[in-house]
Amino acid sequence: MKPVVVFRHALTEGAGYFGAFLTERNIPWQMIRIDQGEQIPSTAEDFSGMALMGGPMSVNDDLPWIAPLLGLIRDAMERDVPVLGHCLGGQLMSKALGATISRNTVKEIGWGEARLSDSPEARRWFGELENFDVFHWHGETFALPAEATHLLSSAYCSNQAYAIGKHLALQCHIEMTCDMVKVWCDAGASEVTESISSPGVQTVEKMQANLHQRVASLNAIAKPVYERWIAGLKT
């Protein structure tokens, strides 16, 4: 089986639970560390799927790797190789498909409720849950590309997830582990302090309260979502 390729854009934003999920199912995967200057492939033909993780940069930044990565996303979708985007990854998918990425009305940092859209496609990805807690850390948001089906929203961000066939873009983070939350809280402590007046931002203490229980609940939500995504892997 061809491997799933996972793109890391920042040292602290690795594959998390998604990587563990693939490993547990003996699905081969490899990571391309953009933050270390590793080369972006020119084609997706050697991969069964493509996953994009998060990062602190903006897809609108003038960075040398963004244009080639957008081209690879388009190539993957044209080849029917499923693409999965987490936060920045979802924004990269949107930009690749011609949608705009702009500043969200407020920053969202911490745990917050996501609400499921009332559609068969939303239930296909997320089941019968009407709302559930996910993790957030973003200041920008994506518009929906053409042909996208809206899946999730939150109180402070109307576009939290969409699907286009077997391709899934998320603004929120469902890949979190306890260690990732702790590392992000340490690395982003100053951003939290500067943004704490925002109604969408939690304190570091609140983000880490009941952490093991929160992450276990998040993993339970992510598991069937990832199962649906790997069902579309190209063999």
172-190 pLDDT, tens per residue? 999 999 999 999 999 999 9
Lowest mean pLDDT among 65-69, 149-153, 194-198: 194-198
Tell me, what's the pLDDT at 145?
98
Q: Is residue 235 part of a domain?
A: no
- Outline where 101-230 has alpha helix (H): 120-126, 178-187, 189-195, 204-208, 211-230
Against a cut of 0.75, is the pTM above it? yes
Determine the structural domain holding residue 81 and report its residue range: 4-230
Q: Is residue 12 part of a domain?
A: yes
Residue 96: the pLDDT is 98
Burial of 195 (0-12, 13-18, 19+ CB in 10 A): middle
Query: What's the pLDDT tens digit per position in 145-172?
Result: 999 999 999 999 999 999 999 999 999 9
Total domains in the chain come to 1
Q: Taking residues 7-28, report their average pLDDT.
A: 98
Task: Place 109 in a pLDDT band, splitting at 50, 70 and 90.
Answer: very high
Q: CATH number of the domain that 214 lies in? A: 3.40.50.880
187 contact partners, CB below 8 Å, separation of at least 6? 12
117-134 in b/e form (b: 16+ CB < 10 A) is: beeebbeebbeeeeebeb
